[in-house]
Copies of this chain bind each other. A is one copy, B any other.
Amino acid sequence: VADEDEVLAANRGFYEAFQKLDARAMANVWSEGHSVSCVHPSGPLLHGREAVLTSFREMFRSTSSMRFVLRGARAFVANDAAWVVLFEEIEARHDEAVVRATTQATNVFVRERGAWRMVHHHAEPAAANKTKPVSSLN
C-alpha cells in the first residue's frame, strides 16, 4: 500500500468517527505523542489534545446526526508527515434544525509507530465558486 493510500485511510477514519459522533474513535484518530491543533469553521485556533478532543465531544453532544460527503481528497507525504486537502460537504442535524455547508479542509498527519495520526485539522467555509455540482451520472 502506498503511503498516500494509508494517509487517505486515516483521513477517512477521522470523518467516520465524526459521522458516528464517536468521541472514543475520535480520540484514537488524534496523535498522543505530538502537539495537536484544530480550527473548526469560523472557530478560533484550539491547541492541545484536551482542548481539541473537548471541542469534538461538545459538538457531538449538541448534534443528532452528521453526514459527510468528501470530494477531491488528495494526500501528500513527506517522510513521516502528511497532509490531505479536500472538500467536505456537511449535513448536520441539531434537533429540528438542519445545517448544510461546504468547507475546504487541510488535515495534517504524523506517522507514529507505523500509524498515521492526526495532528492538525483546519476547515473553512469554501467560497461558492469553488463548489462544483456533483454529477448524478458518476
Contact = CB atoms under 8 A, between A and B. Distances in A.
Question: What is the total number of copies of this protein in its complex?
Answer: 2
11 contacts: A37-B85, A39-B85, A47-B76, A79-B110, A83-B120, A85-B120, A104-B122, A106-B106, A106-B122, A124-B124, A124-B127
Q: Is the interface of A mostly helix, strand, loop or mixed?
A: strand
A25 interface: no
A78 B119 contact: yes
Interface residues of A, number: 36
Interface of A: 31, 33-37, 39, 41-45, 47, 72, 74, 76-81, 83, 85, 104, 106, 108, 110, 119-120, 122, 124-127, 129-130
A78 to B, nearest CB: 4
A129 to B, nearest CB: 6
